[in-house]
């Protein structure tokens, strides 16, 4: 019997995925475990493999469409096999996938039903599973970006007719409703806060103004480059970051002469013993983690009404992929040694550049380190990576004359730039954190003792 291919749930936070490209056409032979479609979610590219050996019988969701997790996107089976029989066995028509109905896994007669988590369902868990799916379906009728835009402009999403897959409300539908209101002379206003709210919320950022290609080009010849999914997400998040936070940056020059010496003395030994080459970033991530441990008031997020103090120290490391940045996360970095951090960073970078990161690899960060020193940058102003409230920019290490007491000596120095959300982290706490970080990097042996 034909087997369904579903949009996988690749991480705890993933609620939808976009079909980028089908690697097989309908009727093409496929082998079990062979990649058949490329998907993206949260700037991450993944492939979905064929669940069985046979042929790709039918593609249900075409490239370019975004659908909720667990949506049926294709059927794989034997040549000439009738899909209708498989649909009947699965308990829902193929159109349910397009309508945003996350299908249950098909089960053979006499076998225990399997839920969305992959665990067998009993009477108690089945009820919880159904409640969870109903909640998921309700959220997924509207894309997250469309819902946010609608809330910002006081648009009732239930009144909109969706033009996305299966009638899903997408950003364009909300934008159209906003324009229609403007045409009628009706001013759109943000929806009022729920009555139960007692603390003031931070104002939502206004939607970015859009202009036509001709307006942007200003009469100059041009070519149009389609906006990639990664660049779209980066653009939205950077705009929201600057529009919704009070960003302030402190800089400090750090003497890393001893750090350079320590790293050089350990390079060969660590490479032989552990197979990794220590980088300055490895030591900086460890130092940042220890500084956060000493200053937990920097390891926070701000909701607009509450301060969320994180109980884990998870350091994101910005990685350049050419077409954009992605920030995989080293979890519990304060509890790991420099060598372990080095191994993890290199593994995450390799996965990022090979398109093998999972959503869990890039979520849960509480602080970010962005190092542009390898590009010859001395200092820069990093932009916050929401919902984090602090990010560290790292410049290049340069050798220059520095006064040490009364003596002018050649020393290795670099500039650190700490950007914080001033709504929740004042200048003095940020400066104290930066001072601790500086002390750790100038006495790097401390980094090897914890």
Rounded to an integer, what distance in angstroms lies between the CA atom of residue 63 and that of residue 81?
24
Question: Is-catalytic flag, 422?
Answer: yes
447 secondary structure, DSSP code: G
Residues 6+ apart with CB under 8 A from 420: 247, 248, 249, 250, 298, 384, 389, 390, 430
Cis peptide bond upstream of 387, omega within 30: yes
First to last CA, the chain: 57
Q: Where in 299-432 does DSSP place strands (E)? A: 300-302, 307-309, 315-317, 319-320, 325-326, 329-330, 367-371, 390-394, 398-404, 407-421
Question: Is-catalytic flag, 153?
Answer: no
Residues 6+ apart with CB under 8 A from 383: 238, 241, 242, 247, 391, 419
CA angle 7, 11, 16 (to 5 degrees): 40
Nearest by Cα to 84 from 25, 141, 2: 2
Which entry of 28, 268, 426, 443 is annotated as an active-site residue?
426
Q: How long a stretch of residues is the chain? A: 450
Rounded to an integer, what distance in angstroms lies between the CA atom of residue 76 and that of residue 84?
13
For residue 428, the number of C-alpha atoms closer than 13 Å in the C-beta half-sphere is 0
Residues 6+ apart with CB under 8 A from 146: 157, 169, 170, 171, 173, 174
Nearest by Cα to 388 from 369, 407, 406, 373: 369
361 secondary structure, DSSP code: G
Question: What amino acid positions are annotated as catalytic residues?
Answer: 422, 426
């Amino acid at each position: 019997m034909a087997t369904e291919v579903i949009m996988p749930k690749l991480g705890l936070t993933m609620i939808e995925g976009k079909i980028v490209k089908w690697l097989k056409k309908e009727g093409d032979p496929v082998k079990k475990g062979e990649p058949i479609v490329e998907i993206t979610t949260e700037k991450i590219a993944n492939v979905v493999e064929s669940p069985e050996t046979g042929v790709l019988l039918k593609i249900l969701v075409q490239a370019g469409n975004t659908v909720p997790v667990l949506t049926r996107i294709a059927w794989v089976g034997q040549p000439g096999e009738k899909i209708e029989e498989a649909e009947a066995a699965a308990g829902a028509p193929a159109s349910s996938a397009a309508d945003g109905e996350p299908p249950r896994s098909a089960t053979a007669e006499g076998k225990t039903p399997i839920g969305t988590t992959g665990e067998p369902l009993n009477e108690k868990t089945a009820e919880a599973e159904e409640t969870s799916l109903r909640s998921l379906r309700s959220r997924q009728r509207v894309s997250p970006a469309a819902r946010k835009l609608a809330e910002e402009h006081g648009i009732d999403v239930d009144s909109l007719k969706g033009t996305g897959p299966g009638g899903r409300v997408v950003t364009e539908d909300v934008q159209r409703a906003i324009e229609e209101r403007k045409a009628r002379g009706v001013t759109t206003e943000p929806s009022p806060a729920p009555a139960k709210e007692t603390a003031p919320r931070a104002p939502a950022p206004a939607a970015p103004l859009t202009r036509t290609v001709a307006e942007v080009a200003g009469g100059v010849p041009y070519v149009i480059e389609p906006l990639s999914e990664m660049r779209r997400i980066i653009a939205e998040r950077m705009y929201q970051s600057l529009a919704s936070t009070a960003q302030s940056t402190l800089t400090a020059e750090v003497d890393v002469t001893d750090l350079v010496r320590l790293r050089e003395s350990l390079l060969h030994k660590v490479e032989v013993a552990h197979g990794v080459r220590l980088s300055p970033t490895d030591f900086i991530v460890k130092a940042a983690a220890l500084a956060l441990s000493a200053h937990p008031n920097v390891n926070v997020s701000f909701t607009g009404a509450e301060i969320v103090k994180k109980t884990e120290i998870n350091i994101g490391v910005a990685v350049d992929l050419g077409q954009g940045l992605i920030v995989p996360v080293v979890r519990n970095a304060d509890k790991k040694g420099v060598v372990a951090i080095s191994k993890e960073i290199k593994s995450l970078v390799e996965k990022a550049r090979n398109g093998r990161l999972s959503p869990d690899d890039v979520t849960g960060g509480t602080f970010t380190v962005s190092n542009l020193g390898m590009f010859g940058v001395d200092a820069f102003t990093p932009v916050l990576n929401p919902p984090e409230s602090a990010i560290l920019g790292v410049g290049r290490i340069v050798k220059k004359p520095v006064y040490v007491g009364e003596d002018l000596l050649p020393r290795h120095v670099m500039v650190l730039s700490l950007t914080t959300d001033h709504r929740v982290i004042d200048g003095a706490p940020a400066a104290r954190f930066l001072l601790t970080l500086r002390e750790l990097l100038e006495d790097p042996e401390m980094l090897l003792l914890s």
